Amino acid sequence: MKKDIIVYFEDIIESIQQIEEYTSVLSNEQFSELVSIQDAVLMRFAVIGESANKIPINIRKNNKIIPWRKRSFMTIPA
């Protein structure tokens, strides 16, 4: 069963919120010392990238304000 497109946007929004929650209370130095937080943030970037890749091309073309190509670094190579 194919996921509804809304689910992909919800995954992206949830991941952004989680990244903000994980990092908002940390200094750059604290973040650089906490490998577990770095891993969590990287995983959320991967979720953003994978979800963005599943959004149909016609929607991406109609929403050029979003830098869709910049999200490609967020995926985990196979």
Instruction: Give tens-digit pLDDT for 13-42.
Output: 999 999 999 999 999 999 999 999 999 999
Q: What is the DSSP letter of 71?
A: G
Query: Using alpha carbons only, how large is the chain's radius of gyration in Å?
Result: 14
| The pLDDT value given to residue 38 | 95
Output the six-digit token pair for 58. 């016609």
Instruction: Yes or no: say if 44 and 75 are a contact pair by the CB < 8 Å rule.
Output: no
pLDDT band, residue 3 (cuts 50/70/90)? confident
